[in-house]
Amino acid sequence: MYLGQFDYKNDVFGYYRAKHTKAWYEDLNSGINYVGSDSLLNEVLTFFDDSLDYCHYDFEGDSYADAINIVYVGTPKAWAKGLWPHAGHVGQVKDSILLVRYEMTNLASTFSLGTFVHESGHMIFGWPDLYYFGDYCAMGSGTANSPKAPVSPNDFFRADQGWIPLNDVSSTIFSAETTNSSNGYIFKNPSNSDEGYFWSYVKGGWKRWSYLSGSMGLLVFHYNLAEQGNSSPEHLRLRVIEADGGNELLASMVPEPGHAYDLFNEYTQSTLINPLWYDNTESGLRITQIGNPAGTITFTMEGPGSSSSSTTISSSSGTTMILKNEAMGASNFDHRSERFDLLGRNNQQRQD
Ligand SMILES: [Zn+2]
């Protein structure tokens, strides 16, 4: 999924012709629920039960199989019901293996990665939907707007998995940094362990960020882990601090495209001075002298209590300390508590 940090392989077992028409599953229950998809899931698991051994999918030897993908032909009918793409809990034991999670994605006229990546993000990592967020993540609008080449998971999620280095600068007095697009910086609220600011260099037009062509600079997030997801503008687990201060992203659940003036650089907005914590106290964080976005970008940061006479610490942090994830398959969240543990995961959760 990302530079060899996470190896996600799928075996394809062929197709299963469902017992009923697609409309039957879509309309099995009139409410907002997945009764129809549960019915199809059970048919599929029963059909393939004799021909496959789930022991092959227990990479960690913990008797869990963590990922099952079901792709069906056609277009989903209505949001959050029937066969609408989603991830959820299986909870069945086969071959002494507990089938934990599955996702279901539709295949329209041709298969696109976008929805598959998004639902896999729910299924494997428990990542929430990032509404009011824009194109900056596969869990936001980034897959819908670029389904053939979906945007990556955002850097906050990637740092949480240990895929990119995370630099904790909470106690930084004064630091001039030059960074490329594989580093995350975190500034934590000393009074609230759920809260902090996070930023990284997002380089549009490059690899999985190709869709964000022309958008380059520091993408700054304000996170609040007390929130379960991004359910409303007032309840955001991960909020984009827009460089232009326009807050356009908050105006729509799925803002599009939303990236014109959101990233900090010397041409848009070169400083972020003392953004507030959620209790309206001052964070003391100062990111200044944000430079020209090129191969690398430079910026200066100061934390609380710093003064201009402080010692300058230079650090070139381009390629240091990439944590290699040894886990194969869909299971590396088990190691997360040894890392940053910024995000929880709930196996029972159903996510659209
Ligand atoms: Zn979703």
Q: What is the pLDDT of residue 7?
A: 85
Q: Which residues surround ligand 1, an ion (CB under 5 A)?
A: 129, 352
Confidence band, pLDDT 50/70/90 cuts, at residue 108: confident
Q: What is the pLDDT of residue 31?
A: 79
- Mean of the pLDDT values across residues 319-336? 26
Instruction: Give the helix ranges, DSSP H, for 17-70.
Output: 22-26, 35-49
Ligand 1: centre distance to CA 177 (Å): 35
Mapped onto helix, strand or coil, the DSSP state of residue 261 is coil
Ligand 1: centre distance to CA 82 (Å): 15
Ligand 1: centre distance to CA 205 (Å): 25
285 with 186, same domain? yes
**pTM, two decimal places:** 0.86
116 with 180, same domain? no
User: pLDDT of 193-248, one tens digit each?
Assistant: 999 999 999 998 878 888 887 789 999 999 999 998 899 999 999 999 999 998 99
Q: What is the pLDDT of residue 118?
A: 93
Within a domain: residue 192? Answer: yes
Confidence band, pLDDT 50/70/90 cuts, at residue 318: very low
209 with 291, same domain? yes
212 or 278: which leads in pLDDT: 278
User: pLDDT of 67-97, one tens digit each?
Assistant: 999 999 999 998 888 999 999 999 999 999 9
Confidence band, pLDDT 50/70/90 cuts, at residue 343: low
70 with 169, same domain? no
What is d(CA 101, CA 137) in angstroms, rounded to the nearest whole number? 22
**Lowest-pLDDT range of 11-25, 285-299, 331-345:** 331-345
235 with 284, same domain? yes
User: pLDDT of 159-170, one tens digit each?
Assistant: 998 899 999 999
Q: What is the pLDDT of residue 29?
A: 84
174 with 101, same domain? no
Which domain range does residue 59 map to?
22-125
Within a domain: residue 5? Answer: no
Ligand 1: centre distance to CA 129 (Å): 5
Burial classification of residue 63, based on how many CB atoms lie within 10 Å of its CB (0-12 exposed, 13-18 middle, 19 or more buried): middle
303 with 166, same domain? yes
Do residues 325 and 2 make contact, with C-beta atoms less than 8 angstroms apart? no
Residue where a domain stops, chosen among 110, 125, 140: 125
86 with 219, same domain? no
Within a domain: residue 133? Answer: no
Within a domain: residue 333? Answer: no
